[in-house]
Every structure is written in structure tokens, then in C-alpha cells.
Amino acid sequence: MREITIPISDETIRSLKVGEPVLLTGIMVTGRDTAHKWMIDTFIKKTRAPQGDDLEAYAALKKLLDGGVIYHCGPVVSGLDTKDYKFVAAGPTTSIREEPYQADVMKHFNLKGVIGKGGMGAKTLKGCQEAPGVYFHAIGGAASYIAQSVKKVLGVYKMEFGVPEAFWVIEVKDFPAVVTMDAHGQSQHAVVDDSSKKVLDELLASPY
């Protein structure tokens, strides 16, 4: 099991290979559909003007995500009334929903890692090669277990998106994941998809 500290250097990213289990330690940020669309529309494609605290949030995220990791996660958080936040559950969200955005977000923010479940597509895989970056597959169905690796909630941005969609800044220790898309164009998800398609084609072609 390889221990990786965030922020992650390009050298470390390029040394990671598909199938390699890792433990991540450092500061990461959660972000799902609304968060990714906000980043794209407001600061990358600039199809909407910044409003409210957008510029403040962007400035903070530029620092946090530089060499950093974004986690596709809609957490269950306690302490909302007192702002004594604690992650109760922190399972991964299906990542393919962010496929239209992820490569552009990686490039703009110099992201080195994306965490989620189920893998991503060709556009993100190309983005991993260019960044360079990797996709870490987190354990689905283990939300409470993963939450134990979240040692502290350091802050939150864009709370108006709602608890699952906000940017939560968290400090993690030994967060378990597996590299399933690397910076060398390898994707375990593509291999599985191809194998599954081959089996399906054979079944459909069978006369029985």
C-alpha cells in the first residue's frame, strides 16, 4: 500500500500505475455536479458573471486545488447548526456525471487527483495525460468507513448549493483508494467496458 501526501507532485503522479492501491493524506475538496458546473460556467468558459461570494470562493479553491485532489462526494454532515462540522458519511458519487467538465477543471486548477466511483471516460483520461493527473477509485458502499479517514472539516464554500453539492474542505489521513486511470493513458474502466461488451456481443450472437 503506497502512502501519498497531498499536494501531489507531477513526479509522483507519473509514477502511479493502474491497479495500485494508495492511502491519501492531506487536504482535499469535495465537489459534485453543481460545483463543477459553477467552476466551468463562471471561471473557465465564463458564460455567467461572478456573483455574491464567487470570487472569494474561487480564490480559495485556486490555492486548495493546485496540486490537489477533488472528491466526487455528497457527504452527510453533522453540526450544521453550530458549524462544528463533522463528516458522518463520505461515500463516493458516480463520477461519469462530471465527464463533460472534469478535464477542463483539471487543467484550469492544476488538479492532480480525482476521486469517485465507477471511473470516467475518454475526455477525462486524456485530461489525466495532459495535467498530469490520475483517477482514484474509492470504495462504494463504505461511506461510514471512509468518513473515519476525515479527521477535520476545515471549511465550506458555496453552501447555498446545499450540503451534498457544496465545496467541503477536509483534512484526511490514510484515505483508501485505488488508481484506476493513470497519466499514461491506461484505464481499468475501459478494459472492463471492452471485456463486458465482448461477452455481451457473444451472448447476443449465440443461437441458444
Q: What is the pLDDT of residues 24-39, one digit of tens each?
A: 999 999 999 999 999 9
- Enumerate residue ranges in the chain where pLDDT < 70: 189-208
Pick the CATH number of 2-205 from 3.20.130.10, 3.40.50.11540, 3.40.50.300, 1.20.120.1200: 3.20.130.10
Which cell is 182 given?
Answer: 493513470
Residue position matching grid coordinates 472539516 = 153
CA atoms of 46 and 83, how far apart (whole Å): 32
Which cell is 26 given?
Answer: 492531506
pLDDT at 208: 55
- Burial of residue 80 (number of CB atoms within 10 Å: 0-12, 13-18, 19+): exposed
pLDDT at 95: 96
pLDDT at 192: 42
> Which pairing describes strands 21-30 and 69-71: parallel, antiparallel, or unpaired?
parallel
> pTM here?
0.90
- Burial of residue 197 (number of CB atoms within 10 Å: 0-12, 13-18, 19+): exposed
Nearest alpha-carbon partner for 104 in 21, 45, 149, 17:
45
Under 8 Å between Cβ of 30 and 170 = yes
pLDDT at 140: 75
